[in-house]
Amino acid sequence: MTLLARILKLSAAFLGSNLARAAIGFGLSLALARGLGAERFGRWILCTTWASTLTVVADLGFGVL
């Protein structure tokens, strides 16, 4: 297998993985919104947004290493 073929294969796998993750996240958000209702889903999103922000701040770039 040539280097270019391997790069293309791994790139396609990475793209497929990202698309699958996005589809699962979208479906999960629809299910949560349907189950929780507008007000509680808004609270859920607010809490997850704060958790994501605090994770980025507390990480201090070590995740890249």
| Model-wide pTM > 0.85 | no
Q: Which pLDDT band, with edges at 50, 70 and 90, does 63 fall under? A: low
pLDDT tens readout for residues 7-56 = 999 999 999 999 999 999 999 989 999 999 989 999 999 999 999 998 88
pLDDT at 65 over 80: no
Rounded CA gap, 21 and 15, in Å? Answer: 10
Phi-psi region of 2 (alpha: psi -120 to 50; beta: other; left: phi over 0): beta
